[in-house]
Chains A and B, each alone.
Chain A
């Protein structure tokens, strides 16, 4: 089914969906292909296309079987993807593609009040990594992170780009309630909880920025392909920005 090493695979996901898969690893290059494909499918305004869901290395495209047959949908999806001209030249490396993506997407700044009551696990992360709390904050707020995908709950971003030096395992016993806006670390991942939920991530801070609002359109601030940067703020700023209201 795969003509070229870099050409996407089209996989059936039932008789009402197709997975368009670009590879089998997590990288900014694949992410950029995934997000461009998802964008092109949305822009194509195909009336039978009901869901376009980008994830790390693939796009799930669901269609309405009352409006189109699976074979016709597959053909139309292949045509749309081929028309994008996803680069198949292996000379473009991950770093370059990442930079291109960076130029295309605005960077969302997420203010974070680190430590204290907002980041009850900051000291544990420091102890585990052998760094000072200040160093953990500096390393966490340094990179430009890529939102690979949204999942788990409304607006929950799966981020790439965390410095491995601050990687810390999950809590042995998850909290029953993690407050909305909490910024956490789980293994080599970092993320932000848009709404209150149970969770086992190590909480190092909290943002006053509302990340999800079911009554808004779009209902969340971040989407797959967005780049974000965490910026440390102090407690008065946190409250001045509307935190915990």
Chain B
């Protein structure tokens, strides 16, 4: 039994259904897709009372509006975007209620790019290869099963009748701790990097782009770092690179100093791991994301560490980054530490709301 609970009235620049992606199909030419910021989707789901992998709406650069067709509990996490219900602001990264007939709007984010809207009860869509994630280029998944992005007039249904009698906000245990930890990390990375005023669309990269702080992205060198000269590897790890406006769910193309190849920019095409940093002949790096092609023929100097993959969802044209190499095992330790921190009661996090910094310490009630 499905009930329509939400009508999209304006999807903004791009809004798609995403879950945590489809795994195990790369050998057939199909990339994982899924939320670019998986932790933000998971947190939005947990805050809304869902399992962390339920489908949500990935909203790119905000400007999204939708009307509730039933009473709803929702949560939004990811980019720091103003949220309003019938014009009344509600906090991002927290659950909120929407009465039937009310309009929810996600505005242009102050920092970050992609916000995730989760609805209690999840979103009904026909899974393709085990996932409802929208893969536009491959015409797979999404609202219609054929990879279509959301558009005005689309009706969103929950798989079961919505919790119309009970709209009390009861997030899953541990949701608040994970939300605060994930928010603190993203604020630390982007709140000062995105010094420009909120924009409604990607600004073209240019020399006059506001110069924020460079964002550190941890990487593990290889698998083809030996295709570069020592000077090339020094350029990669020592210089800053600026994101161009060639940035989408497939990949992020940067500009900056040329990374010198040792023996040409062609390799025999091989598999494309998540976060691969490939360097074509012009010497500028491209980071490959969830909708990447499954194989590629440019050498991959490094791959982004899993602990920082989610941050890539929020880089904007004009942002400067710095690649920070570390070993695979150290990258894993960093991932484990972050995981533990977001689940350990008593840890303190610094977060900023409306320009005021708060130190938040979380305790679980037994």
A residues touching B (Cβ–Cβ < 8 Å)? 11-17, 19, 21, 24-26, 38, 50-60, 62, 65-66, 69-71, 149-156, 158, 195, 214-215, 218-220, 223-224
Contact = CB atoms under 8 A, between A and B. Distances in A.
B276 A13 contact: yes
B273 A13 contact: yes
B273 A151 contact: no
A223 B27 contact: yes
B269 interface: yes
Contact of A70 (B28, B223, B332): B332
Interface in B254-301: 268-276, 293-295, 300
Contacts of B335: 15, 65
The 6 closest A-B pairs by CB, nearest first: A60-B271, A14-B303, A151-B295, A15-B331, A11-B223, A13-B273
A164 B331 CA distance: 46
Nearest to A217: B129
Given A38-B27, A70-B328, A152-B294, 9 more contacts: A12-B328, A14-B328, A15-B335, A54-B27, A62-B26, A66-B339, A153-B29, A154-B30, A155-B28
A212 to B, nearest CB: 8
B220 interface: yes
Contact of A150 (B28, B304, B307): B28
A21 B269 CA distance: 12
B306 A55 contact: no
B24 interface: yes
Q: At the interface, is chain A mostly helix, strand, loop or mixed? A: loop
A53 B332 CA distance: 22
B29 to A, nearest CB: 5
Contacts of A53: 26-27, 271, 294-295
Interface string B178-216: 000000000000000000000000000000000000000
B89 interface: no
A51 B293 contact: no
A51 B27 contact: yes
A42 B67 CA distance: 46
A169 B178 CA distance: 54
Contacts of B331: 14-15, 70
- State which size class the interface on B falls in: 35 or more
Given A53-B294, A58-B270, A153-B138, A15 B328 contact: yes
B220 A14 contact: yes
Contact of B27 (A17, A52, A214): A52
Given A13-B223, A51-B24, A59-B271, A152 B29 contact: yes
B269 A151 contact: yes
B329 A69 contact: yes
Given A15-B335, A17-B274, A50 B140 contact: no
B145 to A, nearest CB: 8
Nearest to A70: B328
B273 A155 contact: no
B129 A62 contact: no
B220 A69 contact: no
A13 B300 contact: yes
Contacts of B274: 14, 16-17, 62
B3 interface: no
A50 B24 contact: yes
A243 to B, nearest CB: 21
B139 interface: yes
Contacts of A219: 25, 28, 30, 129
Interface in B165-184: none
A12 B220 CA distance: 8
B221 interface: yes
Contacts of B275: 14
